[in-house]
């Protein structure tokens, strides 16, 4: 992992991966700016008439269910099929999975019809996708779904194995699994849950790394999680409120480098 961290950020900034987002309108601007901050190039095209063409020229595809509507579901599936045909990694963010029948049906369609490279969600969303009883609090994790680290690892392993992908469960301790290996990331701060969109932004960050390292998805996803958690810590150290914290978070991603990742990264590889 340390060897990968040594060149990861520089490689993303050199490659400038094009990341196609079909995402939600609450956080779309922050996702675009965070992609730019790490060195990627964002494009947000959800019209069914162009999604296949745009996806085909991209290095990664983000599918985010945050503000789901019937029109974009078809766009997501068509874009995902194109990504699969061309070997482009799909990063799926099942926002609010478990909250409604429409959302649940869409989440199931995406994971069953498409080969997702990475699925990133909170514990409630991942529990639902894994077929485990879950409750929801809108798009946030429910306190009723609080799991031990060991249980979260087992759930991540189960979903990763079933769908042959990387699973990222974000929380106080982030869990990354490919079904065989686990990495626990202890970076981050509670204030990251007090602004909207940090999960969506992390999904964009994961896509930027995966678009640059399509053959090393496990470590690419982990590096993105580390970078986001460290940026949150650094942003909190210099701000006094949630508005300035949001801006500082993007600033810190734009400044993050090899030295910061290796010195501040707090993770356990299993």
pLDDT digits (tens, 9 = 90+) for 73-121: 999 999 999 999 999 999 999 999 999 999 999 999 999 999 999 999 9
Q: Is residue 122's pLDDT more than 60?
A: yes
pLDDT band for 5, please (50, 70, 90 cuts): confident
| 3-class DSSP state of 56 | helix
Beta strands in the chain (DSSP E): 18-22, 41-44, 60-64, 90-93, 118-122, 136-137, 140-141, 166-170, 174-177, 182-185, 267-269
pLDDT band for 3, please (50, 70, 90 cuts): confident
When the pLDDT of each residue in the chain is averaged and rounded to a whole number, the result is 94
Phi, psi of 211, rounded to the nearest 5 degrees: -65, -25
User: How does strand 118-122 pair with strand 90-93?
Assistant: parallel
**Contact call for residues 64 and 35 (beta carbons, < 8 A):** no
**Contact call for residues 196 and 208 (beta carbons, < 8 A):** no
52 Cβ contact partners less than 8 Å away, ≥ 6 residues apart: 78, 79, 81, 82
Residue from 230, 184, 171 nearest 205 by CA? 230
Q: In Å, how far are 134, 171, 185 from 142, measured between CA atoms?
A: 8, 11, 21
Whole-number pLDDT of residue 2: 76
Q: Is residue 139's pLDDT more than 80?
A: no
Q: Is residue 57's pLDDT more than 70?
A: yes
Which domains does the chain carry? 2-269 (3.40.1190.20)
Whole-number pLDDT of residue 6: 82
Q: Which residues pair with 169 in a beta bridge?
A: 121, 175
Q: Which residue has the tokens 């400038």?
A: 16
Beta strands in 18-110 (DSSP E): 18-22, 41-44, 60-64, 90-93
Q: Show binding-site residues.
A: 44, 120, 170, 197
- Sheet architecture: strand order including 41-44: 41-44, 18-22, 60-64, 90-93, 118-122, 166-170, 174-177, 182-185, 267-269
For 161-187, the pLDDT digits (tens) are 999 999 999 999 999 999 999 999 999
Distance, in Å, from the CA atom of 185 to the CA atom of 223, rounded to the nearest integer, reads 10
Q: Show binding-site residues for ATP.
A: 120, 170
**Contact call for residues 250 and 162 (beta carbons, < 8 A):** no
Whole-number pLDDT of residue 127: 93
For 141-153, the pLDDT digits (tens) are 444 445 689 999 9
Q: Is residue 18's pLDDT more than 70?
A: yes
Q: Show binding-site residues for substrate.
A: 44, 197
Residue from 86, 96, 100, 268 nearest 181 by CA? 268
Q: What is the mean pLDDT of residues 124-144?
A: 69
Whole-number pLDDT of residue 141: 46
Distance, in Å, from the CA atom of 27 to the CA atom of 164, rounded to the nearest integer, reads 28
Residue from 77, 96, 106 nearest 199 by CA? 96
Q: Is 53 exposed, middle or buried (CB count within 10 Å of its CB: 0-12, 13-18, 19+)?
A: exposed
Structure tokens at 24: 């939600």
């Amino acid at each position: 992992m340390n060897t990968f961290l040594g060149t990861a950020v520089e490689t993303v900034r050199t490659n400038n991966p094009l990341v196609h987002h079909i995402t939600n309108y609450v956080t779309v601007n922050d996702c675009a700016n965070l992609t730019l901050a790490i060195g990627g190039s964002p494009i947000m095209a959800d019209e069914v008439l162009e999604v296949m063409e745009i996806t085909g020229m991209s290095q990664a595809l983000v599918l985010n269910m945050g503000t789901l509507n019937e029109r974009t579901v078809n766009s997501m599936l068509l874009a995902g099929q194109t990504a699969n045909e061309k070997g482009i990694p799909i990063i799926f963010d099942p926002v609010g999975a478990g909250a409604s029948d429409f959302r649940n049906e869409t989440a199931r369609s995406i994971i069953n019809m498409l080969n997702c490279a990475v699925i990133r969600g909170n514990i409630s969303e991942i529990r639902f996708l894994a077929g485990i009883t879950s409750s929801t609090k809108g798009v946030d994790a429910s306190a009723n779904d609080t799991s031990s680290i060991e249980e979260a690892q087992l759930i991540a392993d189960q979903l990763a194995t079933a769908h042959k992908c990387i699973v990222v469960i974000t929380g106080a301790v982030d869990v990354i699994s490919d079904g065989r290996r686990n990495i626990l990331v202890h970076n981050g701060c509670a204030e990251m849950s007090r602004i909207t969109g940090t999960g969506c932004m992390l999904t964009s960050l994961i896509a930027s790394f995966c678009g640059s390292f399509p053959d090393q998805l496990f470590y690419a996803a982990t590096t993105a999680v580390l970078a986001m958690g460290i940026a949150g810590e650094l942003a909190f150290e210099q701000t006094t409120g949630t508005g300035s914290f949001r801006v500082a978070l993007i600033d810190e991603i734009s400044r993050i480098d090899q030295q910061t990742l290796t010195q501040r990264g707090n993770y356990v590889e299993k």
